[in-house]
Structure 1
Amino acid sequence: MEVLIGQTHRNMMTFVSSRLLLSRGNFIPLKKLCFVSGEAKIHTSMRVQSRIDRQNRPLTLETLGFRSERVKEKGNNTNQIGPMSLDKDVPRSIKTAPKRSVPVKAVSVKALEIEGAPFTAKSFLELGLPPLLIEQLDKVGLTTPTDVQSTAIPTISQNRDVIIQSYTGSGKTLAYLLPILAKVGPLKCVSIVDEPDKKKGIEAVIVAPSRELGMQIVREVEKLLGPEGRKAVQQLVGGANRSRQEEALKKNKPAIVVGTPGRIAEISAAGKLPTHGCQFLVLDEVDELLSFNFREDMHRILEHVGKRPGGEKPNNKLPPQARRVERQTVLVSATVPFSVIRAARSWGRDPLLVRAKSILPLDSVPASGTVSVSDPTSSSTSSILTQGTVESLPPVLKHYYCVTRAQHKIDTLRKCVHALDAKYVIAFMNHSKRLKDVVFKLEARGMNAAELHGDIGKLARSTVLKKFKGGEVRVLVTNELSARGLDVPECDLVVNLDLPTDSIHYAHRAGRAGRLGRKGCVVTICEESEVFVVNKLQRQLGVPIQDCDFTDGKLVVSKVEKEKQKTTSEVAR
């Protein structure tokens, strides 16, 4: 009996001491505390929140260690936070939550909308880019960063793995290219000195799902590097001569390679693409790269880029952060379904979701995916998209739909082009076999048109794109091939001759118009039985898609639609 009383007394003392330890108010930077009684073998677990969760504060560029000139002028009343630590002291200007002596439930971290610098920088100089790079930006006429660039550039510069999510045409390509060029290539910061014993090789790998997007990225890099530095970038896309690409790699020794998964994996497997010392891995249009077609190639890329050779063992004496893969992973897309979030958690190191004027930790992103909008049995009230899908559309776009019979769709397309006086039109269909018939009927009605799809050769595709961008072709009839990466800033009208399979595909199609703040329209031509799909797209994307018709050479919004808008405005008041 005495032994039992003694053990009970010791157990009670252990529990009391643990409660006293928490009630003193001192912060304990551990996610979980375990108290074990040596004799009674009683195991007690308690969860203690990190400081950011406990005080319900969002992540900002300031907490990542970046400060703009405007912030520095206010004085040194804020505690500076290291770039790789989020659990240190936060600025005093933010009121702290009252201390609690008992564990509380974790509060999801919310994004913070900030209108001050550096989220809305007025110049690239504020973002800490090197002088040579800023000088080159001035030469090509780029002086003011977009919102997503103001947020992403300093975040990537702080060596953070990120997902960049913003609507198409918002400047995502430069958002990741500029911080890379600040550390890699001839325009990098002067203070970055290469180690004499270190062999110079591939320092950045950029992967794109299509040849067109890959070649477009290469042109952007070459434009920034200028004629003298063009050899610093090499394209490795499918459909081109592989042996010539390998010769160029050997001769030019580029610092940056841009290509498609198949060709990069192919040359890597041949041992002619050393990427173990790579600093950056960028996956553009990552949601497309997650498709089954790219699975094996992406696996090889992820296993070889920026990872140490098999014979080199990591130093176990280093902290876990230092033992990680050296590469910095950047994922980019206009839409971020949960499959991308899951991939980022697997491939990256504490990645952040970066949007225009906000930074979001992945832990706060809901585990929701997407479902097909053509399925009438799915619930309309369910949350099937992440917040990123809602923000994936250019803000100045106008959305309409027109109901007609299937045999009248092409004639409705012609009326739509004339009514809106559109000069650059992209018409989307779901099946490439029907494209030629649409082009034939449009040309028979006196409208210059051309088809673009994956079954035609590389030279033919380049010729069609050149004619479209040059204004020789007014209507480009295409499939999902052009929904990603096709950059024609002058495009002012997108027409869905066939309904997109889901809201993500709608967003990518629509993003071909209204790029970089320009005006544009998206018109979906559908049958009466497909209107419910349009209504579902409208609810999911959070944008009004107005019912319209084309009469007397004008776009006319239906009376029912006008009544809806009137009722909505009255309710809002």
Structure 2
Amino acid sequence: MTKEIEQFAQLGIGEALTASLLEYGIETPSPIQTEAIPYILEGRDVLAQSQTGTGKTLCYLLPLLERIDPEKKESQVLVIAPTQELAMQIVREGEKYGAALGIQTIGLIGGASAARQIEKLRQRPQLVVGTPGRLRELLSTRKLKLHEVRSIVLDEADQIFQMGGADDVRSLLKGALRDRQLIFLSATLGPDVRGLAKREMRDPADVGIEPEQKLVKLTQHLYFECQQRDRIDTLRRVVRHYNPDRAIVFVNQADTIAEVEAKLNHLGLEARTLYGDADKVTRANVLSQFRAGKFRLLVATDVAARGLDIPGLELVVHLDPAADSEHYVHRAGRTGRMGRKGLSVSIVTDRQAFIMRRFSRELGTEIEERAMYDGVVLDPAEADERRSRRTSKGPTTGRGDSAKPSAKPAARGAAQASAAPSGDAPGSARRDAGEAAPEASVRPKPAAKPAGRGPKGGKKQPNKDKGAPKWLKEKRSPQDPS
């Protein structure tokens, strides 16, 4: 038995699941898994807080799969998730690891066919995963029965409350056994979640890996200031500079998503959108293509992207600033997952810059300002200094020399060729300084004829009669041509 299998085995995970973990490249339990798994295996209520991307899904799924009796064809575990995407992700994980134990998993998710889900419920799957609204709907019509459910999980518990799922959760808890096990997990645990835990839990194990550190330490946080009209161009420059394989672009308003997508595709950045009100099949197809690398940028709102787990996601861009620090935590948590490095970039106007300073203060994490100059990301002071140096030198020629105001043209010919800067004289060949020019190439042009003069040497008067009618010419006196 390898050292890695021994670590999971010491936590109480059986050989079948540890073998599946190694098959999928998971060799060592994360800190939150090490902390929470023993309590969940004991049947204790658990209140767990840990940063996004630290392995919270498996920290409850592995021990609950161990506790399920595959011979008993009844729903034994219920997992409640705030969004369709997170629910579908949990279903995939349940199917992946439960198959080796003979455990069936079902997803009861809003936006999909309820009739088809009811048909699958007749097979009596042991692990049920769903969104609050659809679960309550099926419970009220008695298609879903919770009298055998021994464990109930609220994943991303704070988001369930923020999205108005509190009443649905209370109804589901009332429909379950009084002695059921409750597990609440989230990156942030607000007063609503803690209030529900206090009312419904019995002596919960309160676990958390650096709960005051809400953001993953390996993720870098930056912001760029620009004018409102330059946001898309700044996004383009950020993407071109960091060159990620995939990135999520967050916007605040769903009605601006299509416009952002169109502009990014016009710039050749291969973008698709994830709408919160799109049907389940459409959302699943978009996410599947994004995971497979079929396009580069996923434009989404907070609701649509909550709980997404995109392996290897390198960059998150906040095209609109997050509504508050908690939303920022969940956005930034899409990158830098499971020990990998990540980058979170916000694009703000000068009037929005204070939001970044507030987030930095509230989260205890440095969010640094950066500026883009000549395609290089710099500290703003350094960018200003470079810009100032270039301005003081003035416009440059092709060689990088400062351009100077040109004097009045000298006599045409060889003198003109030598006086003009290299490459600036019309018609002259560009050549290195000091190179001898062939004699034929500097042949002077003939000088212009001097202006005509009258009999006394004065300037010749302009002929105002040129083109005039004959009667006017005869009327004018030769002494007075005007």
Normalised by the shorter chain, which TM-score bucket? 0.7 to 0.9
Shift of 1:295: 3.3
2:187 pairs with 1:334: yes
Say if 2:21 is the partner of 1:137.
yes
State whether residues 136 and 225 of structure 1, in contact with CA within 8 Å, keep that contact through their aligned partners in structure 2: no
| Superposition map of 1:271-350 within 5 A | 271-291=142-162, 293-305=164-176, 307=177, 325-350=178-203
**Does the residue aligned with 2:311 lie in a helix, a strand or coil?**
coil
What's the counterpart of residue 455 of structure 1?
Answer: 277
Change (3 A) 1:335 1:483: farther
Alignment of 1:387-466 (within 5 A): 388=211, 390-466=212-288
- What's the CA shift for 1:200? 4.8
Distance 1:132 1:446, change over 3 A: closer
Partner of 1:246: 118
Moved more, 553-562 or 424-433: 553-562
Partners of 2:226 and 2:350 within 8 A in 1 = yes
Mind listing any 5+ residue stretches in structure 1 that lack a counterpart?
1-119, 187-193, 308-324, 359-387, 563-573
2:314 counterpart residue number: 492
Displacement, 1:326? 1.5
Q: For residues 161-202 of structure 1, what are the alpha-carbon distances to aligned partners after superposition, in whole Å with 9 as ceiling and x for unaligned?
A: 11121111110000001110111044xxxxxxx8xxxx7521
Instruction: Please list the CA deviations of residues 458-480 of structure 1 after superposition, one character each: whole Å capped at 9, or x if unmatched.
Output: 22222221221121211111111
TM-superposed deviation, 1:417 = 0.7
Aligned-pair CA distance for 1:401 = 0.7
Closer, same or farther in 2 for the Cα pair 1:140/1:185, shift >3 Å?
farther
When the two chains are superposed, the root-mean-square deviation of aligned CA atoms in Å is: 2.2
The residue aligned with 2:63 is 179
Corresponding residue for residue 537 of structure 1: 359
Looking at structure 1, the residues matched to 12 and 245 of structure 2 have their Cα atoms a distance apart, in angstroms, of: 40
Contact persistence 2:218–2:341 (CA under 8 A): yes
Aligned equivalent of 1:166: 50
Tell me the equivalent position of 2:427: none
| Larger Cα-atom Rg | 2
Task: Tell me the distance in 2 between the aligned counterparts of 1:266 and 1:144.
Answer: 39
Q: Which residue of 2 aligns with 1:470?
A: 292
CA distance in 2, matches of 1:133, 1:263: 30
| Cα distance in 1 between the residues matched to 2:257 and 2:136 | 32
- Sort the Cα spacing of 1:150 and 1:395 in 2 relative to 1 into closer, same or farther, 3 A: same
Q: Supply the distance in 1 between the matched residues of 2:332 and 2:175 (Cα, whole angstroms).
A: 35
How many residue pairs match? The answer is: 382
Q: Distance in 2 between matches of 1:558 and 1:339?
A: 41
* Residue from 351, 360, 370 that aligns with 2:204: 351
Contact 2:237/2:375 (8 A) holds in 1: yes
Deviation per CA, 1:3-36, whole angstroms, max 9, x where unpaired? Answer: xxxxxxxxxxxxxxxxxxxxxxxxxxxxxxxxxx
Q: How does 1:56-67 map to 2 (within 5 A)?
A: none
Cα separation, 2, equivalents of 1:140 and 1:471: 20
Q: What is the alpha-carbon distance in structure 2 between the residues aligned to residue 447 and residue 211 of structure 1? A: 27
Letter in 2 for 1:540: E
**What's the CA shift for 1:122?**
6.8
Mapped contact 1:121–1:145 kept (Cα < 8 A) = no
Match of 1:234 among 106, 113, 116: 106
Q: Is 1:261 paired with 2:132? A: yes
Amino acid aligned to 1:127: L
- In 2, the alpha carbon distance for the partners of 1:138 and 1:121 equals 8
In 2, Cα distance between the equivalents of 1:471 and 1:498?
A: 24
Residue deviations 1:140-161, cap 9 Å, x none?
3323101100001012122211
Q: TM-score scaled to structure 2, two decimals?
A: 0.75
- Contact 1:283/1:330 (8 A) holds in 2: yes
